Each structure stands twice: as C-alpha cells, then as structure tokens.
Amino acid sequence: MSLTKRQREILNYVESFLEEYGYAPSFDEIAQFFGYSSLATVHEHLSNLEKKGFLRKNYNKSRSLELVTAEGTLAVELPLLGSVAAGLPIEAIEEQETIAVPHDMLRSGQNYVLRVRGDSMIEEQIRDGDFIVVNSRQTADNGEMVVALVHGGSATVKKYYRERGRIRLQPANETMLPMYFDEEDVQVQGVVVAVIRKY
C-alpha cells in the first residue's frame, strides 16, 4: 500500500533509529523529532503505518515499534563486517555489505554481523559459513562467547575466560585446545548474541 510523504518520513526515522540504537524510538522522541505538540498525531500516523502493514506495536510496552519487512518478518539491516575465524585467528577484514537480521536478535547499542570461518565452535551450534550477530562491547564476563582481536590484528570467535593474569579463549570443539594469551594481547570486540544459518 502507498504511503503519504509524512508516513514515509516517520517510517524512515523509525528504521534509522532502530539501526543506530538497536531499539525503537518512543512516541515522545518521534513527536519531538517532527515538531508535533500532541502525541495523538504520532499515534495516528503509527496506527496508519500499522494498518498498511509496515509496523507492529505493543501499546502496553514502551519502545515496542517493530518494522515489518516484505517477507512479513521483523528485521533490521546490519553491516556485515567480514569474516571471523572459528579456529585459528584470521585477519580482520571489513566488507561493505548488509544483512537483514530479525529485530528480536538484537541487543541495545551497536550490533553487526560477521561470517564464521572454521569449526572450532560447532558444539555451540556455530558452523563454517554461519553468520553471527555481535553486540559491540569492549568487555565480557567469563563464559561469554566473544569476538576477540588477538595481537591487534587477527579476529577469532571463542568462549572468553580471564584466569590469573591471562586470557583463555576456549573453543567449543573437543578436538581443539584452548588458546592462552596475555591480557594486553586480547581485545574484546563484542559478544555473540545470535547465530544465523542460510541454507
């Protein structure tokens, strides 16, 4: 169904807000951005977008706006920033692609996607060629699955453990040994929050 100019502007605003922050704007933020003095105007526009099948919302929950893609699933386009090793570290390479990710896989803050190379995380159901959704963070708790930069240039995905002044990066594959590094040689780039497999 066709959209009015203002409906298109509001949809674009919601989409860009979701991509930037990982959560939806509030009715107040929409009203402020477009200079509306009444939330009723925002409510009317959002209701029309919902009727036309572009948005879903839950009135009992704040920041509950969700985009509906052409396939009917809720998704956000995230940058695909290259490949990460599930095995030995490989060079971190940035690509200029995006991939649609279901909105419920995201965490607040910046999120991005990496393609997995290798089989070191197969016991966590992450296989060669899968995509992982990563929540960008510089810290992690013991046992979290992280994307780590090793020696400033090679990226790997492993379980993260801080042990007596060193870092253990633990594969989830019984045929592979853990990797040990000095703390200063490992930089956490983010925490894995979801896996996407394309058949």
* DSSP strand pairing (166-170 vs 90-91): unpaired
pLDDT digits (tens, 9 = 90+) for 131-156: 899 998 999 999 999 999 998 878 89
pLDDT band at 110 (very low <50, low <70, confident <90, very high): confident
What mean pLDDT is predicted for residues 67-71?
Answer: 60
What mean pLDDT is predicted for residues 99-115?
Answer: 79
For 133-171, the DSSP string reads EEEE-S---TT-EEEEEETTTEEEEEEEEEETTEEEEE-
**How much is the pTM?**
0.61
Parse the chain into domains and list their residue ranges. 5-67, 75-196
What CA–CA distance (Å, rounded) separates 20 from 34?
18
Sign (positive or negative) of CA dihedral 97, 103, 106, 109: positive
Contact between 167 and 158 (Cβ < 8 Å): no
Range of lowest pLDDT (71-85, 119-133, 156-170): 71-85
What CA–CA distance (Å, rounded) separates 50 from 41?
14
- Number of helices (H), then strands (E), in the chain: 3, 12
Looking at the domain that runs over 5-67, which CATH code has it been given?
A: 1.10.10.10
Looking at the domain that runs over 75-196, which CATH code has it been given?
A: 2.10.109.10
Q: Which residues are designated catalytic?
A: 120, 158
pLDDT digits (tens, 9 = 90+) for 153-176: 788 999 999 998 899 999 999 999
Q: Which residue has the higher pLDDT, 62 or 197?
A: 197
Q: Which residue has the higher pLDDT, 196 or 140?
A: 140
Across all residues in the chain, what is the average pLDDT?
A: 83
